[in-house]
C-alpha cells in the first residue's frame, strides 16, 4: 500500500557521494524537526526526469525555501555515482538539491512507490512523486499516475500548495 498524507516516513538509509566515496545518510535525520520537499524520479538522465522534473525544482527551490522548506531532496533508484554526476549535469547540485540514491529500492518499496517497465529497461524503479515532509510526517503528497508525466508532482505544483 502506498504512503499517504498523514503517514510517517519509514526509517531509511540512502546514499550520497561524500568527498571520495559513497556515504550512508539517514532519511529520518534529514527530516527530523525540519520541513523538507522530497521528489522522486524513475531514473537519472531519463527524458522527463532530466528535462522537466529536476529543472522545475531548480526553478522553484528559492520559493520553497521562502515558504519554510529547509531542504529539497531528489531520490532515484540509481547508484550514488550516477546521482552525483546527474546533479552536476543538471545544475541541481549547484542549486542546493540533495541528490540521494535508493540503490536497492528499499525505501521506494517501503512506501509502496515501486514499479517495473521492462520494455523500457526500468526494473524496481520509483514512481514519480513529490511530497512535503514535516518532522518525518508527510503533509502533502502528489503522485503521478504515469511515470512518463510530470504534472502534479512538479516543483511548481508543490510550490503552489506548500504553506
Model pTM score: 0.96
Pairing of strands 129-134, 137-143: antiparallel
Catalytic residue list contains 49: yes
* C-alpha grid cell, residue 8: 510517517
pLDDT band at 147 (very low <50, low <70, confident <90, very high): confident
Q: Which residues pair with 151 in a beta bridge?
A: none
Active-site option among 3, 30, 49, 158: 49
Q: How far apart, in whole angstroms, are the C-alpha atoms of residue 9 and residue 97? A: 20
Residue-wise pLDDT for 39-73, tens only, equals: 999 999 999 999 999 999 999 999 999 999 999 99
Share of the chain above pLDDT 90, in %: 91
Q: How far apart, in whole angstroms, are the C-alpha atoms of residue 117 and residue 42? A: 10
pLDDT at position 57: 98
pLDDT band at 75 (very low <50, low <70, confident <90, very high): very high
Amino acid at each position: 500500500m502506498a504512503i499517504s498524507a498523514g503517514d510517517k516516513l519509514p526509517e531509511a538509509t540512502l546514499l550520497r557521494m561524500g568527498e571520495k566515496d559513497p556515504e550512508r545518510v539517514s532519511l529520518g535525520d534529514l527530516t527530523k524537526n525540519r520541513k523538507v520537499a522530497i521528489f522522486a524520479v524513475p531514473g537519472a538522465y531519463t527524458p522527463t526526469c532530466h528535462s522537466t522534473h529536476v529543472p522545475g525544482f531548480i526553478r522553484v527551490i528559492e520559493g520553497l525555501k521562502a515558504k519554510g522548506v529547509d531542504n529539497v531532496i531528489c531520490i532515484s533508484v540509481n547508484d550514488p555515482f550516477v546521482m552525483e554526476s546527474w546533479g552536476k549535469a543538471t545544475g541541481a547540485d549547484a542549486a542546493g538539491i540533495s541528490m540521494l540514491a535508493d540503490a536497492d529500492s528499499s525505501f521506494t518499496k517501503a512506501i509502496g512507490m515501486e514499479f517495473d517497465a521492462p520494455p523500457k529497461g526500468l526494473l524496481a524503479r520509483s514512481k514519480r512523486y513529490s511530497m512535503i515532509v514535516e518532522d518525518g510526517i508527510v503533509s502533502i503528497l502528489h503522485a503521478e499516475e504515469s511515470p512518463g508525466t510530470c504534472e502534479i508532482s512538479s516543483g511548481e505544483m508543490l510550490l503552489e500548495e506548500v504553506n
